[in-house]
Amino acid sequence: MLGNWIKTFVLMAAITALFASVGVALGGGSGMLIALIFAGSMNIYAYWFSDQAVLTMYGAQEVTSDNIQFHNYYFMVKELAENAQLPMPKVYVINEQQPNAFATGRDPEHAAVAATVGMMKVLNERELRGVMAHELAHVKHRDTLISTICATVAGAISALAQFGLFFGRGGERNNPIISLLIMLLAPIAAGLIQMAISRAREYEADKGGAQISQDPKALAAALEKIHYYVHQVPNQTAEMHPETGQMMIINPLSSSSLKGLFSTHPQTEERVRRLLALANHSA
């Protein structure tokens, strides 16, 4: 667990250092401040209100303790939240046939977890339990806050680059060719770091979820099934709103074949390998 947290810290330090370097090169102190305020204001709004926006976007329906159809699902989440020593999150179901799930909310006291009806059809109870434990691990690790900070800094870097392109601030301080390269490459570098942080958080949620459910093999089996069906069954809402793909346990987009540096999620094979290794180590 410590390794992924260290990696996250190093990557966040790297994206912050990139912001400082680009800011000095293109905008100076005032430009950096404007870009940070611009990106920060958008992402603070997203941090507080994006959970309801995403749930509404996916037509999520809240499940309560007296819901007969999803009775087992609700009390499964309740048990796992108690295992994780978390407040009971709001529980939602999404009428999508593609198996997938996500967690949202600004902190553990305002969290929500959602699963598609397709996932409940494809997975058995043990595998579903592993997936929901993974989502609760995201809540426990406050990954929404981490992703918001990363998005703010990455957005500030992009804003600085746009300011530089439109107002030519970099040319006053540097060789114009170098300034142009910084403007073009800095947002790409920021995006790559942001994706790397996202992958590290997925590994950490896998490990945390295995600890909450005490069943790493169940999550491994679930990931293999979800990975297969994601490429067979489209998720129309995700296709229309691709920015939400990084929230899911596996990227739901039909075009999500990119691997390595350009992926928001680790390769499923590697996630499964690590979970099985964890299970063997625990045995």
Instruction: Tell me the C-alpha to C-alpha distance, in Å, between residue 242 and each of 24, 88, 146, 239.
Output: 32, 29, 20, 5
Question: What is the helix (H) or strand (E) element at residue 63, kind and residue range?
Answer: strand 61-63
Does residue 135 have an active-site annotation? yes
- Among residues 271, 269, 281, the alpha carbon closest in space to that of 206 is found at 271
| CA 261/CA 58 separation, integer angstroms | 28
| CA 25/CA 27 separation, integer angstroms | 6
| Residue 275 and residue 206 in contact, taking contact as beta carbons nearer than 8 Å | yes
For the chain, count helices (H), then strands (E).
10, 4
Helix (H, G, I), strand (E, B) or coil at 166: helix
Residue ranges of alpha helices (H) inside 108-172 are 117-122, 125-140, 143-167
Q: What are phi and psi of 104, to 5 degrees?
A: -150, 175
> Which residue in the list 96, 109, 127, 135 is annotated as catalytic?
135
Residues annotated as catalytic (active site), given as ranges: 135
